[in-house]
Amino acid sequence: MEIKDIVEIANTGLVELTGFTSPKAIGINKEADIWHITIEMTEKSSESSNLDLLGIYDVRVSVAGSLLGYERVRMRKRCEKDIC
């Protein structure tokens, strides 16, 4: 399975589970038999897109392509340059 397939599984699964939209993979790494995909998605839109609230998630996918779980690890406003 290619990395783009792993990312698509993570994106699709996270949208289905959270109901949020616009997932964007911003990082990926593999530890043992688990892929960790970092995904940023809009959780709350604002009139000014700079004030949108974004959630950053760690999504775990098995090497076989099964979604194992996810966790929101941070939140930020779109206008913030540094992710804390």
Query: Would you state the structure tokens that stand for residue 63, as one six-digit string?
Result: 């090497």
Res. 84 pLDDT band, cuts 50 70 90: very low
Q: Are 26 and 11 in contact (CB under 8 A)?
A: no
Length of the chain: 84
Task: Assign domain 3-77 to its CATH architecture.
Answer: Roll (3.10)
pLDDT (0 to 100) of residue 82: 59
Q: How far apart are CA 51 and CA 28, in angstroms?
A: 26
The pTM assigned to this predicted structure is: 0.85
Residue given tokens 């949208």 in the structure block: 15
